[in-house]
Amino acid sequence: MLRDLKQRQPGHPLTRIIWWHLCHALCVVWFAFSYRFRFFGQANIPRTGPVLFISNHQSMLDPIIVGIGSSHRQFYAMARATLWNTKLLGIMMDTLNAIPVDQDNPDASTMKRCIEVLKQDHALLIFPEGARTRTGKTEPFEPGLMLIIKRAKPTIIPVALEGAFDAWPRTKKLPKFFGRIACTYGEPIEAEKLLEMKPKEALVHLQTTVENLRLELAESIQS
């Protein structure tokens, strides 16, 4: 039991792992009540080794959504650097493994940090579209994703979200209180398979995989 907990964030203190689980439990209650949340494919997530979650980006709720179903692999994720302007919020972001990124002026240090955490056998969540979708569909992936895959060689887990765009589109300041949201974790993809392709081909392959998962998810939550 204790060993299993420590594997969720290798090298981190147990208190930090338990704090994540407390936040996770609160979010589970919230999403089960408000959004009738469902998730699929949790067994596809490796329990050890570097894992890169790549997900479509529909709303500000997305990191929470991905985290609810992947509690056995607590991940790092990038967040707007301005969130650290408030001291208390900044401390909370640190305890939840957020990596600050300046979206207007991104620099190499953010990329370096992402590669570093993967090489330490952690999990990392990335939204390769770079920004929340304007249509609900999965938009083209940014090329920086392939650099991370090349340098860290993680196992890639494609993730699809559906319903979050309706719950909180980027045009709204606040989310809806009720709705239907679901998340699915696709089959693992080895880095070597992608690195055998040309970078643009690999990016299209990943985007298509995530979008196909999203379309399947849309059908399942409507039935």
pTM of the complete model: 0.95
What is d(CA 142, CA 132) in angstroms, rounded to the nearest whole number?
13
Percent over 90 (pLDDT), the chain: 79
User: Is 83's pLDDT higher than 70?
Assistant: yes
Q: How do residues 166-185 score in pLDDT, each as one tens digit?
A: 999 999 999 999 999 999 99
Q: CB under 8 Å, gap of 24 or more: what pairs does 63-66 form?
A: 63/125, 64/27, 64/31, 65/31, 65/37, 65/161, 65/164, 65/181, 65/183, 66/125, 66/159, 66/161, 66/183
Q: Which of 120, 115, 123 is nearest to 96 (CA)?
A: 123
Q: How do residues 111-159 score in pLDDT, each as one tens digit?
A: 999 999 999 999 999 999 989 999 999 999 999 999 999 999 999 999 9
Angle between helices 199-222 and 144-152 (to 10 degrees): 100
What integer pLDDT is reported at residue 223 of this predicted model?
A: 64
Tell me the average pLDDT across 9-23: 91
Q: Amino acid identity, residue 47?
A: R
Answer with the residue of higher pLDDT: 117 or 1: 117
User: Is 3's pLDDT higher than 90?
Assistant: no
Task: For the chain, give the number of residues.
Answer: 223
Could you give phi then psi for residue 194, rounded to 5 degrees?
A: -75, -35
Where does the pLDDT of residue 222 fall: very low under 50, low under 70, confident under 90, or very high at 90 and above? confident
What is d(CA 141, CA 204) in angstroms, rounded to the nearest whole number?
8
Task: Give me the chain's average pLDDT, please.
Answer: 93
